[in-house]
Structure 1
Amino acid sequence: MAIKHYDIIIIGAGLSGIGTACHIAREYPGKSLAILERRENVGGTWDLFRYPGIRSDSDMASFGFNFKPWLSDKVLAQGGAIRNYVRETAEEFGLYEKIRFGLKLTNSDWSSKDQKWTVSCMQEASGETQLFNCNFLINCAGYYNFDQGYRPAFPEEEVFTGDILHPQKLPEDFDYGGKKVVVIGSGATAITLVPAMVDKAEKVTMLQRSPSYVMSLPDTDKASKVLSKILPESWVFQMARRRNILIQRALYLACQRWPKVMRKLLLSHMYKNAPTVDKRHFTPKYMPWDQRLCAAPDGDFFESLRSGKAEIVTDHIERFDETGIVLKSGQHLEADTVIAATGLEIQLMGGSSLSIDNEEVNLPRKMAYKGILIQDVPNYAWIFGYTNAPWTLKCDIGGRYLCRLFAHMENTGVSVATPVDTKNSATDASILDGFTPGYIARAIDKMPRQGKADPWRITMHYGKDKKMLVKDPVDDGILQFEAAAPDSSQQSDLLQQATLIT
């Protein structure tokens, strides 16, 4: 079987993959680059999810790419707009010719002898196996299962005569007009679905086991809208980006430093925006930023509750019956459609296996180096964004770091870079230690570890990471380098020379 070789292979053509590819294509136009994408379109998450109201939960000035301004006064963008943004970026940087669509990654194996990765994929349309190899492999496939979300089994759900759907599988043209809809969940997806469905549905009920923190945010960046009339759009974008990054960081730090004070402020905010709703529906059991805060553009979620078109119920499911859900309190929720916004199913590395010389890497026993590379794994990067800030902030500085790494390797004549722990830095804490949403808690044993100190410690701090990835020396004594191994022809010549000498 013919094996196509590339200098660099990127797995995934979503925001992370396209963003990383843009940095590399711009800095190293001479390197051969391939992007392997399982779906038939770019966009990743934003191509997969099509449920009503799908949008970002981070402002687009900081969620978009630093090198491609988001030129809109919309703060939280709709899924279709983000999908188009990713497509435009890929086209602008000439990436479409580098993307191989419809390929599901099955295994990546590093050969220490050849100093190359062999990447095995399955063409999903035909079932055919395709092989590629590369000098450096970058995984941008995200961290959850694209095949299915987390969908618990509900007692006696088989007797329900309506539909039970997960948002990840909800068709874009799903008809819920005139129906009674129950949305199970209290996270960002549920907070998005409820106000998006109230205009068509007869009634929308959000059923939650426990409340979340919900913040009303302006849907229009009025300051940028005014400034764009007198300043270049690129200036306005950069100003908004810096401002929003600082605001987000300040909010997070305030929640960490003064959790009780911030809890009171957030509770007061929610009570004020939903004055007729029982406060217990807006009183979370956890402290702010133990889980992500949910955003409601222009308070649309609260407006849907105030209007009477939607309601919120805090209870546990006893069982399903033919017409809806029986709760443990004895209350019955009538439903024609139930949407189980119950979270994601964690899946690392795109569901593929990772091995070195045909020996599988035990990822949960490895540490993340600078949040980008993996301990003891050569020439391998894993782009993993922030949980307390826009995901793509980390992707941007991660791509810039990789370009710096490639430059160092070229300048010093080495071909292999491997982070090695020589000081017994490992701890039992996962890379997402302290972040407690259900989908993370269910998969904590799958996650890589973090260490006692930098560069093995995961800070989730954009400022510190930017210094570490963009400014600090690449060669820090922890990253170990190897010279290129001679190829077979060189080895033959060396053997012949040695024979002549003897």
Structure 2
Amino acid sequence: MLATPPDFDVLIVGAGISGIGMAAHMEMHCPTRSYAIVEMRENLGGTWDLFKYPGIRSDSDMHTLGFVFEPWKHEKSIADAPSIMDYLNTIVDERGIREHIRYQHRVIAADWRGDEARWHVTIQMPDGEHKRMTANFVYLGSGYYDYDEPYDPGFDFGEFKGQVIHPQFWPEDLDYAGKKIVVIGSGATAVTIVPSMADKAAHVTMLQRTPTWMFSRPAKDALANFLRKILPEEMAYKITRWKNIKMQDFSFKMARNKPEKVKQGLHKRILKSMGKDYDLSNFTPPYDPWDQRLCLVPDDDLFEAMKSGKASVVTGRIAKFVEGGVELESGEKLDADIIVTATGLKLAVAGKIAVTQEGVPVDFSERFYYKGCMFSNLPNLAVVFGYLNASWTLRADINSDFVCRVLNEMERKGSDIAVPVLPQDHGLEEDDIFDFSSGYIQRGKHIMPKNAVSYPWRLNQEYIADRKIMMTEPVDDGLLSFRKAGANAQLPGEQLEAAE
């Protein structure tokens, strides 16, 4: 090993679900390895601490959004942000992780140096000063979107005199009691905000350009709560988790194989809530279910708000913003004191960190994913990009477990470097990385890494298959190369790719 060790064996970027999950896996599987978590914000939790809009909750069940190693013990499986934060805080306290977190450490650059077998990481401190950390391995748990800047659809608010708010920067002191509100958007954020604000507001209108497929389910998982009464906590959680994983998988494949049947089922559920004569046009998208992510409506809360007259859904295109609200191309005017632009997120790769390899900028759009975890010819770096058709944490769990296996294999072999080697003449056939039509996905495709049609050079969207491969196949698979510092740190093919 190197004469001068790095500051840490592993530097984890981000103290959200992905980063905390990696730290917990290291505590369990790599207890002799040193690590630190650097978090750019003042608190842990990532998304669940950043967003403050009314009603913020999970849009996946917590038996799969929760970690494999930590049972979800709350009665509600569709959980609000404070409950999720309690869950994360319990984990970092009970597993000795909190002392490893360094807040207000924003990673702005990371350079891989093969002769030292370490990353030189540049961190910006709150006072603007830069400091340097070194780590043998970097694990990016920095999420998938830009924390600093949401998607801007380019609205010109013109004559509008009221307040304009984006959910990513929600003012904590906002008083909307008795106000008329228009929420622009039809995704998970809008569907959460509308019924939550309807309690106090005079009226909330969800203005959508295109409808979204909605599905309703109870916020409480009856089977989970029953099993917790008769079985040990961990066993009950394990059964519920596997049941929900299989249901997610079945539902997604059913939507792809029999879309018309799934459409009928989703509409039937809405009619059960709204009445058999309800006009379904506002809930009939021009695409098939799971061409975009389905929106969850827990306990029919959106439909209940609509039936009470406190909320409504309007489909139309904006002509202009006027003094008292929004005018649509149809001529209809929606009155508003407050406009909420729930228009989506802006994708970001590698936490917007300037990643270089021997000083040469790394263009992730020119690298292939390796097992949905690492990248072609880029040593000692792993990332989490969760599933689009299932809970984010499912991928976070298998990736962090895999990286721990890689670290242990490196230790066993006495190597400093692990790199997925892909020669220049690889001949891989490329695949669409995301077979989803969602706006935020389509807008960000140009920055995303490459995807091959066959494993392992791809980011799969099938957790059950991924889990089996990641957890059972040998780490030393003939593609992941293990080396010592300075000894063939780069192959000729890698040098060519890095220089492109």
TM-score normalised by structure 1 residue count: 0.93
Q: 1:68 aligns with which of 62, 67, 70?
A: 70
Q: Which amino acid aligns with 1:450?
A: N
8 Å contact kept, 1:317–1:327: yes
Q: Distance in 2 between matches of 1:32 and 1:430?
A: 38
8 Å contact kept, 1:151–1:340: no
Q: Distance in 1 between matches of 2:222 and 2:367?
A: 46
Aligned to 1:20: 22
Aligned to 1:283: 284
8 Å contact kept, 2:189–2:342: yes
Deviations 1:338-382 (A, max 9, x none): 000000011111111111011001110111100000111001101
Aligned to 1:446: 447
Residue 196 of structure 2 corresponds to residue 196 of structure 1: yes
Runs (5+) with no aligned partner, structure 2? 488-500
Q: Which amino acid aligns with 2:174?
A: F
Percent of aligned pairs with the same residue?
42
Q: Where do residues 25-424 of structure 1 align in structure 2 (5 Å cutoff)? A: 25-123=27-125, 125-155=126-156, 157-275=157-275, 277-422=278-423, 424=426
Aligned-pair distance for 1:172?
Answer: 3.0
Q: Which amino acid aligns with 1:187?
A: G
Counterparts in 2 of 1:428 and 1:455: CA distance versus 1, 3 Å: closer
**More displaced 10-residue stretch of structure 1: 472-481 or 267-276:** 267-276
Runs (5+) with no aligned partner, structure 1? 487-502
Aligned to 2:496: none
Aligned-pair distance for 1:430?
Answer: 4.5
Q: Distance in 1 between matches of 2:138 and 2:227?
A: 42
**More displaced 10-residue stretch of structure 1: 346-355 or 50-59:** 346-355
Aligned-pair distance for 1:80?
Answer: 1.1
8 Å contact kept, 1:56–1:76: yes
Aligned-pair distance for 1:4?
Answer: 7.0
Q: Distance in 2 between matches of 1:240 and 1:343?
A: 31
SS of alignment partner, residue 84 of structure 1: helix
Q: Which amino acid aligns with 2:200?
A: K
Q: Distance in 1 between matches of 2:239 and 2:202?
A: 43
Aligned-pair distance for 1:424?
Answer: 1.8
8 Å contact kept, 1:425–1:453: no
Q: Distance in 1 between matches of 2:274 and 2:183?
A: 19
Q: Distance in 2 between matches of 1:401 and 1:265?
A: 38
Aligned-pair distance for 1:31?
Answer: 1.3
Q: Distance in 2 between matches of 1:333 and 1:453?
A: 49
Alignment RMSD (CA, Å): 1.5
8 Å contact kept, 1:427–1:449: no
SS of alignment partner, residue 398 of structure 1: helix
8 Å contact kept, 2:112–2:118: yes
Counterparts in 2 of 1:277 and 1:198: CA distance versus 1, 3 Å: farther
Q: Which amino acid aligns with 1:316?
A: R
Q: Which amino acid aligns with 1:284?
A: P
Q: Distance in 2 between matches of 1:326 and 1:426?
A: 50
Q: Which amino acid aligns with 2:226?
A: V
Q: Distance in 2 between matches of 1:137 and 1:307?
A: 51
Q: Distance in 2 between matches of 1:484 and 1:104?
A: 28
Q: Distance in 1 between matches of 2:108 and 2:227?
A: 49
Q: Which amino acid aligns with 1:304?
A: A
Aligned-pair distance for 1:425?
Answer: 4.5
SS of alignment partner, residue 416 of structure 2: strand
Q: Distance in 2 between matches of 1:410 and 1:19?
A: 21
8 Å contact kept, 1:217–1:299: yes
Aligned-pair distance for 1:278?
Answer: 2.8
Q: Where do residues 404-483 of structure 1 align in structure 2 (5 Å cutoff)? A: 404-422=405-423, 424-432=426-434, 434-483=435-484
Aligned to 2:492: none
Aligned-pair distance for 1:151?
Answer: 2.4
Aligned length: 481
Q: Distance in 2 between matches of 1:197 and 1:427?
A: 48
Aligned to 2:490: none
Counterparts in 2 of 1:425 and 1:384: CA distance versus 1, 3 Å: farther
SS of alignment partner, residue 158 of structure 1: coil
Aligned-pair distance for 1:19?
Answer: 0.4
SS of alignment partner, residue 397 of structure 2: helix
Q: Distance in 2 between matches of 1:448 and 1:139?
A: 15
Aligned-pair distance for 1:165?
Answer: 0.8
TM-score normalised by structure 2 residue count: 0.94
8 Å contact kept, 1:426–1:450: no
8 Å contact kept, 2:431–2:453: no
Q: Distance in 2 between matches of 1:94 and 1:62?
A: 23
Counterparts in 2 of 1:430 and 1:97: CA distance versus 1, 3 Å: farther
